[in-house]
Amino acid sequence: MIRRALRRLPLVLACLALAAPVHAQDQLAALTTAQVLNVRTGPSETYDIIAGLPYGTPVALHARSADGFWLLVEGIGAYGWVSAYYVQPGPGVSFDALPVSTETVAPGSAPPAQSPQPPAAAPAGSAVTTTALRLRAGPGEDHDTIAVLPGGAALTPGETSADGYWVRVTTPEGLSGWVSTCCVAEGSAPDEAGDAAPDDMAQALWRLGAPAWAVNQDFYSIGARTREIYLSGLAMGRNPRAFSKFGDCNSRTVFFLSQFDRGQYNLGPYQHLQPTIDHFAGSFARESMTVWGGGTSWMVFDSLWANTAYCGPDETPVACEFRLHNPGFAVIGFGTKEMGHTQLFTESLRALVEYAINAGVVPILSTKADSLEGEGQYNNDIIRQVAAEYGVPLLEWGKIAAALPGDGLWEDGHHLGWFPPYYNDSRAYYTGHSARNLAVLITLDAVWRGAMQ
């Protein structure tokens, strides 16, 4: 439903812009593009400056001057006139659709009061699936599948299993069974008319000035064999609530994912990912036995690189990691230090993926941001090839990074830039580590839920 709403967003915004003036409670439909944009009491440079809006501030549009050179806007507590030259309209928004005004405002003035429409309340005791979901005869994956419910299906919830992972539900057609609590949310299924309204998440991302990758979320594939490997792991006793990390300096705990365990984050528009953080609690900040500065894929099979404080004599790092943490999933991010070793990297990555599959661990491969191996990023092609060969999940982090300033890297060309994972701040979407952390979290969420289906 989210993706369908996102695809419709430009059309919806265009219709809104043509139909009526854009008011603050309707949408924040534009962004400032000046380093600091002066807010004035009237539509001319002769009027006094009453405030300044920093670059990237989302603003609501209220009116325009007769010549179209000035806009009456509202943003972060300021209300007044700004130059239209330094305002970027949202998708489908036309400044020409705004009413013409000659209003002058006093410092500290508030925009005209509007009468917001209260949101429709969900029926009591209603729920909706957030993705396609198996309806089972009992509370567990060992029970038969009764039906496959589509995303957005209305449900009436009942009792919850003792472990909290399953809930008994009834469909409007009278089917009764159990579904995973991972993919059920309180509320009701939107009808087609209601679905035409812009999605709250899409609006929030637009207000933040988030890039296309964060909006479209089309940078991962779940993999054809994911569920098969996941079920195999469950039969072996793997922990479906744990994942391991494999990688180099960019995967070290201080920067990579750990803030999700430490509470040092703000999900912003991605509040729906909190259950995934809760589900995998303890894995984000854990020190992995298979992450090193300068780490390579072949090091995981060399006992010389094992941490002797935790690993047994002659135990390889990968064997040690799987023994200690018993994960159901593994996030694998190698390739930076394998430049010039194409065949060795290919063979080692294949061996690691095969080892994980045979151990009942779902390997999630990730491309990389740097180009240390030269133009073409052929190591990323190897990663894509191996993911396709084994039918395992793939995160296209390299393609996301290519759209970031400086590829998301420091000047050295391989270390990622740092910004904390505060996704209520637009900078988090344009900086290496914070963008990668979000992309991994989104992918982990999708792979986990896909495996559960």
pLDDT at 299 > cutoff 90: yes
DSSP one-letter string for 348-394:
HHHHHHHHHHHTT-EEEEE--S--TT-TT-HHHHHHHHHHHHHT--E
Q: What is the pLDDT of residues 36-78, one digit of tens each?
A: 788 999 999 899 888 887 666 667 888 899 988 999 988 766 8
The mean per-residue pLDDT over the stretch 354-372 comes to 96
Under DSSP, is residue 67 helix (H, G, I), strand (E, B) or coil?
coil
Among 4-13, 140-149, 223-232, 379-388, where is mean pLDDT lowest?
4-13
Query: Range(s) for CATH 3.40.50.1110 in the chain?
Result: 209-452
pLDDT at 339 > cutoff 90: no
pLDDT confidence bin for 216, thresholds 50/70/90? confident
The mean per-residue pLDDT over the stretch 314-337 comes to 96
Q: Which CATH class is domain 127-186?
A: mainly beta
Pick the more confident residue, 4 or 226. Answer: 226
**d(C-alpha 99, C-alpha 79), whole Å:** 16
- Joined together, the tokens standing for residue 204 give 């929030």
Task: Give me the architecture of the 2-97 domain, per CATH.
Answer: Roll (2.30)
Query: Range(s) for CATH 2.30.30.40 in the chain?
Result: 2-97, 127-186
The mean per-residue pLDDT over the stretch 377-400 comes to 95
| Nearest residue to 52 via CA among 70, 38, 35, 41 | 38
The burial class, CB within 10 Å (0-12 / 13-18 / 19+), for 401 is buried
The mean per-residue pLDDT over the stretch 319-334 comes to 97
Under DSSP, is residue 312 helix (H, G, I), strand (E, B) or coil?
coil
Q: Which CATH class is domain 209-452?
A: alpha beta
In angstroms, how far is the first alpha carbon of the chain from the final one?
17
Tokens 């479906």 found at? 240
DSSP secondary structure letter of residue 141: T
Among 59-73, 236-250, 289-303, 306-320, where is mean pLDDT lowest?
59-73
At residue 136, the pLDDT reads 86
**Count of CB atoms within 10 A of residue 171's CB?**
17
At residue 264, the pLDDT reads 85
pLDDT confidence bin for 14, thresholds 50/70/90? very low
pLDDT at 13 > cutoff 70: no
158: enclosing H helix or E strand: strand 154-160
pLDDT at 163 > cutoff 90: no
